[in-house]
Amino acid sequence: MTQYIIRRLLQMIPITLGILTLIFSLIHLIPGDPAVQIAGEGARPEDVHAVRVALGLDQPLWKQYITYLDHLAHGNLGTSFRTGTSVAKEIRDRYPATIQLALGSMLVALLVAFPLGIISAIYRNSWIDNVARFFALIGVSMPSFWFGPLLIIAFAINHPWFPVSGREGGFKSIVLPSVTMGLALAAILTRMIRVSLAEELNQLYVTTAIAKGVTRAKAIFRHALKNALIPVITILALQFGSLLTGAIITEQIFSWPGLGRLLVQSITTRDYPQVQASILVIALTYILVNFFSDLLYGVVDPRIKLE
């Protein structure tokens, strides 16, 4: 196992370095002179110069890159143009809200997908299975920026059970954003569980268990489901990463004060250090989550480690 972890860690290094380089280059992709663009049209030359110095754009490229990596290594993500404070602080404030939303959506997805997936595997090709399939299809095709507003119309305006937006309402305020973001994941998981469990139910060990007098329910839940969950766990972990980008849109719909909303706000105000840092944190979280889901895969299915 240790060897496997080390190998995966080593594989992560070049990719992480590539991501850092790409994010570093972003500011140099700004058309024209980045300093002029950032300072804004009609800015005085001294303001442009100040921006150039603040961002280190007056230094040679290689030096800028080294400084960038050095700052990162010391946890210095830069200073926000808008607030003048450390961007890391802003990210620290917003990060929990995004993680909370991602966990909320995952919970919604699990609550929907488990019963639906198990029922449709047991009663495969019945009407229940078809309904579940239709739900899954709608779930993956429905864009969150449409589903969210529909939920707001139904459950915040027509029936004011939940707040329209924000995070101040405690538990109630996380329900609609979680359902919005959890729907697509629920759809994917339902199909995964259905396919995986249906396959296991056809295995001889299930037939043997039933033949030996184990109840059908026990054969399903104690024997088949356990094996069926292996691929599902991995998908779940992998999907957690994509929930992070889903959060960018969902947070915008519900004015949820998380990292995604911070990113969009910083783009609108051309606060590039904040933009770079937010993208970096989202990308790194994604890589880390993928890393752990790989490890998890190695734990639940020992054959993987041999590859």
Partner 1 sequence: MKRFKRLLRNFAFTFGLVLTVLLVLAALAAPLLSPYDPDVQDTSRRLEAPSHEHLLGLDDLGRDVLSRIVWGARVSLRVGFSVVILASLLGVTLGAIAGYFGGAADVIVMRICDILLAFPGILLAIALVAVLGPSLNNVILALATIGWVGYARLVRGQVLKVREMEYVTAAKALGAKSPRVIVRHVLPNVVNPVIVMATLGLAGAILSEASLSFLGLGVQPPTPSWGAMLTAGRRYLGLANHLAIFPGAAIMLAVMGLNFLGDGLIDALDPKYRKDF
Question: Per rule CB under 8 A, is residue 19 in the interface with partner 1?
Answer: yes
CA dist 40 and 182 (Å) reads 40
Stretch of residues binding partner 1 (CB under 8 A), selected from 66-74, 81-89, 229-237, 279-287: 279-287
Q: What is the DSSP letter of 32?
A: S
Backbone angles phi, psi at 86, to 5 degrees: -65, 135
Question: Per rule CB under 8 A, is residue 41 in the interface with partner 1?
Answer: no
Question: Per rule CB under 8 A, is residue 14 in the interface with partner 1?
Answer: yes
- Pick from 145, 161, 205, 221 the residue near partner 1 by CB under 8 A: 145
Which CB, 68 or 272, lies closer to partner 1?
Answer: 272
Q: Which residues of 93-108 are buried (b: 16+ CB within 10 A; e: fewer)?
A: ebbebbbbbbebbbeb
Question: Per rule CB under 8 A, is residue 72 in the interface with partner 1?
Answer: no
Question: Per rule CB under 8 A, is residue 157 in the interface with partner 1?
Answer: yes
The SS3 assignment for 170 reads coil
Question: Per rule CB under 8 A, is residue 149 in the interface with partner 1?
Answer: yes
CA dist 122 and 230 (Å) reads 18
Stretch of residues binding partner 1 (CB under 8 A), selected from 118-126, 197-205, 274-282, 299-307: 274-282
Stretch of residues binding partner 1 (CB under 8 A), selected from 22-30, 175-183, 185-193, 221-229: 22-30
- Pick from 189, 279, 294, 297 the residue near partner 1 by CB under 8 A: 279
Q: How many residues bind partner 1 (CB under 8 A)?
A: 45
For residue 164, what are the contacts with CB-CB under 8 A and spacing of at least 6? Answer: 152, 156, 157, 254
Q: Determine contact, residues 131/168, Cβ cutoff 8 Å.
A: no
Provide the minimum distance between the beta carbon of 275 and partner 1 in the complex, in angstroms, as a whole number: 5
CA dist 90 and 102 (Å) reads 19
CA dist 132 and 119 (Å) reads 9
Q: Determine contact, residues 81/270, Cβ cutoff 8 Å.
A: yes
Query: Which residue blocks in the chain are alpha helix, DSSP H?
Result: 2-26, 34-39, 45-54, 61-73, 87-122, 127-141, 144-152, 171-201, 204-211, 216-218, 225-253, 259-268, 272-300, 303-306
User: Interface mask (CB under 8 A) for partner 1, residues 231-260, using x and -?
Assistant: ----------xx-xxx-xx--xx-------
- Pick from 42, 143, 170, 213 the residue near partner 1 by CB under 8 A: 143
For residue 236, what are the contacts with CB-CB under 8 A and spacing of at least 6? Answer: 106, 110, 189
Question: Per rule CB under 8 A, is residue 13 in the interface with partner 1?
Answer: no
Provide the minimum distance between the beta carbon of 189 and partner 1 in the complex, in angstroms, as a whole number: 18
Residues that bind partner 1 (CB under 8 A): 14-16, 18-19, 22-23, 26-27, 29-31, 137, 140-143, 145-146, 149-150, 152-153, 157, 164, 241-242, 244-246, 248-249, 252-253, 263-264, 267-268, 272, 275, 279, 282-283, 286-287
